[in-house]
């Protein structure tokens, strides 16, 4: 009789334990119902766009026939303190394509200038500018939107190597990628090209890169997408989330009420992105 009672209980306990274990070792999916009104949209952008970008150094990277202008933000820290700093590479969206070495400093890049971020999260920040699309889109055999890098993207690996040599206090175990729209796709492209070089990636409203899933299956990845995005399909990020089902280091944040144009607004005046990145190492 006792066996008949305890047997189904044991089965139930085993099931619950198994589910909890699987959840503990799976990715994390977050759903937010944030709403961005026109006033918040305007104010948040105005605050970051008012920051003085003159502290960013202007440089050019040349490799054979490839020329990439870029801006470099140095860490704000006492010179007498010997320590290492992360390197953040931030990628612009397609509306910032050009050669003026100015336009790539979009609001998502400028957050690193906010006093509380600049002071509390000292790091090197690199913002390259592409003179044509850095990531190109297509559909795979089942109709999922996918991205592929331009030749300029792989050249950035040489630029990173140069910077690490020039600034020995860059922490090679904390090199981060971040981008929005085409820039988010580019961040994914670079991660897939050289997964061993990067500690974490923040991808906002990307068309995803599925080219090297086996190598990125344990990487720290934060996917952010608006469910109402009618430019870069939300389904592409969802498909990447599903195909990396075993990656416990993957977070997918869905904003149910946001679209392609307002998806970065909730992150412009917070420390969410720097805080998450700085918690990750290779």
Q: CATH no. for residue 135?
A: 3.40.50.1820
Q: Six-digit token pair at 44?
A: 């948040």
| Alpha-carbon torsion (155, 276, 254, 43), positive or negative | negative
> Does the pLDDT of residue 256 top 90, yes or no?
yes
Report yes or no on 13 lying in a domain: no
Residue 5 lies in a domain: no
pTM more than 0.85: yes
Domain for residue 202, yes or no?
yes
Q: Is 2 among the domain residues? A: no
The reported pLDDT for the residue numbered 21 is 36
Is residue 17 in some structural domain?
no
- Mean pLDDT, the chain, as a whole number? 91
Number of domains in the chain: 1
In a domain, 6, yes or no: no
Element at 113 (helix H, strand E):
none
C-alpha to C-alpha distance for 204 and 218, rounded to whole angstroms: 19
Residue 248 lies in a domain: yes
How many residues are recorded in the chain?
A: 282
Domain limits for position 165: 26-278
Please indicate, yes or no, if residue 11 is contained in any of the structural domains: no
* pLDDT level of residue 107 (50, 70, 90 thresholds): very high
Query: Which residues, other chains included, contact 165 with Cβ-Cβ below 8 Å and sequence gap of 6+?
Result: none
Please report the pLDDT score of residue 80 as a whole number.
Answer: 56
Least confident of 70-79, 81-90, 167-176, 226-235: 70-79
Tell me the mean pLDDT in the region 40-59. 97
Residue-wise pLDDT for 202-215, tens only, equals 999 999 999 999 99
Check if the beta carbon of residue 132 is closer than 8 Å to that of residue 94.
no
């Amino acid at each position: 009789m006792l066996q008949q009672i305890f047997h189904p209980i044991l089965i139930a306990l085993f099931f619950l334990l198994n589910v909890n274990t699987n959840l503990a070792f799976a990715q994390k999916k977050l759903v937010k119902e944030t709403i961005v009104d026109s006033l918040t949209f305007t104010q948040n952008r105005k605050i970051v766009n008012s920051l003085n970008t003159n502290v960013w150094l202007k440089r050019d990277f040349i490799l054979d026939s490839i020329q990439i202008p870029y801006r470099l933000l140095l860490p704000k820290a006492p010179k007498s303190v010997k320590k290492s700093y992360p390197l953040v590479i931030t990628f612009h969206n397609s509306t910032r394509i050009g050669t003026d070495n100015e336009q790539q400093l979009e609001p998502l890049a400028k957050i690193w200038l906010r006093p509380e971020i600049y002071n509390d999260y000292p790091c090197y920040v690199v913002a390259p500018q592409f003179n044509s699309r850095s990531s190109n889109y297509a559909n795979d055999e089942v109709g999922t939107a996918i991205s592929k890098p331009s030749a300029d993207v792989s050249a950035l690996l040489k630029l990173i190597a140069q910077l690490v040599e020039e600034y020995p206090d860059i922490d090679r175990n904390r090199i981060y990628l971040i981008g929005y729209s085409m820039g988010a796709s580019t961040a994914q492209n670079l991660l897939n090209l050289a997964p061993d070089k990067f500690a974490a990636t923040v991808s906002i409203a990307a068309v995803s890169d599925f080219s090297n899933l086996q190598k990125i299956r344990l990487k720290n990845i934060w996917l952010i997408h608006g469910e109402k995005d009618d430019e870069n399909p939300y389904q592409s990020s969802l498909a990447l989330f599903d195909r990396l089902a075993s990656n416990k280091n993957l977070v997918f944040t869905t904003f149910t009420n946001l679209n392609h144009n307002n998806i970065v607004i909730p992150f412009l005046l917070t420390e969410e992105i720097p805080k998450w990145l700085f918690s990750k190492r290779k």
